[in-house]
Amino acid sequence: MRYVKTHVSLGGRPTGEPFSAPVYTFEGSGGGRSVYLQGNLHGPEVFGTALLTALVQEFEKWDQVPGTVTIVPCANPLGVQETAYNTHLGRWNSKTGLNWNGIFTAPTRWSSREEERAYYAQRLISARSIEERLEAELRSLSSQADVCIDIHTNCRESIEHVMTLDTMSTHFESLGAPVHLVQTDEKLGNSFEESHYHFTPEVLPEDRPWACTWEVSSDGLMFDIDVRNRLVKLLNWFAYVWQFDSHISAFKPEVYWCGEHLYATDSGYLAWTKRAGEYVCAGDVYAKLYHPNSVQVEELKAEHGLTLIALGGVVAVTKGDRIAWIGYNP
């Protein structure tokens, strides 16, 4: 199947060369749900680009797709080029300090999809900064879709998980992620995923777009076997979206209503006693802090039951540093 390739323009380098992100669109022919997928919004999270490149290759083999699919493998070509000492940076804009996945502001709640699309069409005209331009371009594309998935990776060691609204969790079970972190639309942040939830209560759930963040793996090394595994999961999810007979029902994920960071209680050298994905009972030790100045070892214990979702990569920490991402139910 042929696709249409266009580019999202994001301005240019100081030397004049343009910055742009390729967009691949497969036009649907069967009236199925339209889908938007993007990866690599954060510079270090390159897994999504590889996965979506493999998806483009897969769809090229198909005769047709039931619903239009728009794919942006590398949503942030500026961030992915920021490297130092053989390490990817680019989670934040190095010039402004802004998190690339915290720029999707929506100051109002829309009463319809048409109002949402009009808002971002206007943003395309008024955008000045690189962050405003990126927000307007990506959301103008995703506002045309019925379903949106933003693909990320998380920390040095992470288990696969999905973040979405509580009312949408079932729509993403077929991705096969073992953990879902869910929220209501009462308190929304400025992430790409959350920017799709800004609708008034009068807009029925069936008239809202489905959206999620899919944390597919850890940052750092990428293995082809993992890319292929996630591609199989993604195709299974498409079978659910388009109601193919080949759809394989997913197992029910562990659902957590609270997702938050763990912070270092003191300065020292962090050594984990638990791995990502493990459940930690209240009072159990999940890590130790080695203090070279006092030659003491401090045990870090869970205040309540929790699951370690992702473990940070910094070993030498100071008090208050984020060291992990956890999930739990109050």
Q: Measured between alpha carbons, how far is 175 from 160 in angstroms, rounded to an integer?
A: 10
Q: What is the pLDDT of residue 270?
A: 97
Residue-wise pLDDT for 159-205, tens only, equals 999 999 999 999 999 999 999 999 998 889 999 999 999 999 889 88
**Across residues 5-15, what is the average pLDDT?**
84
- In the structure encoding, which two tokens stand for residue 330, read together? 């109050």
pLDDT at 88 over 80: no
Tokens of 143: 């506002």
* Alpha carbon 51 to its chain's center: 13
**pLDDT at position 290, please?**
97
Task: List for the chain the helix, strand, coil content (%; round to 5).
Answer: 25, 30, 45
CATH of domain 4-255: 3.40.630.10
Beta strands in the chain (DSSP E): 4-12, 18-26, 35-39, 69-72, 83-84, 87-88, 147-153, 157-158, 161-165, 179-183, 210-217, 254-256, 258-263, 268-272, 279-280, 285-291, 296-301, 306-311, 316-317, 322-328
Neighbouring-strand partners of residue 150: 38, 213
Share of the chain above pLDDT 90, in %: 79
Residues 2-6, mean pLDDT to the nearest whole number: 95
Average pLDDT over residues 16-43: 93
Q: Where are the alpha helices (DSSP H) in 61-197?
A: 77-80, 113-126, 130-142
Q: CA–CA separation, 172 vs 32, rounded Å?
A: 17
Q: Which amino acid is at 275?
A: R
- ∠ Cα 20 23 26 (to 5°): 170
Indicate if the pLDDT at residue 98 is higher than 90: yes
Task: Give the largest Cα separation in the chain, rounded.
Answer: 68
d(CA 196, CA 271): 38
Residue 223 near residue 55, CB atoms below 8 Å: no
Query: What CATH code is assigned to 257-328?
Result: 2.40.50.100
Q: How far is CA 325 from the centre of its chain?
A: 14
End-to-end Cα distance, the chain:
48
Entry field: residues in the chain: 330
Determine the pLDDT at residue 191.
Answer: 96
Least-confidence region, from 12-21, 45-54, 241-250: 12-21
Q: Is the pLDDT of residue 89 over 90?
A: no
Q: What's the pLDDT tens digit per position in 196-248?
A: 999 998 898 888 999 999 999 999 889 999 999 999 999 999 999 999 888 88
Alpha carbons 328 and 301: distance in angstroms, whole number:
15
pLDDT value at position 7? 94
* Domain layout of the chain by residue ranges: 4-255, 257-328
Q: What pLDDT was estimated at residue 233? A: 97
DSSP line for 68-91: -EEEES-S-HHHHT-EETTEE--S
The mean pLDDT value of the chain amounts to 93
Q: Enumerate residues 6+ apart whose C-beta is below 8 A from 272.
A: 286, 287, 311
Contacts with 196 (C-beta within 8 Å, 6 or more apart), sequence order: 142, 148, 208, 209, 211
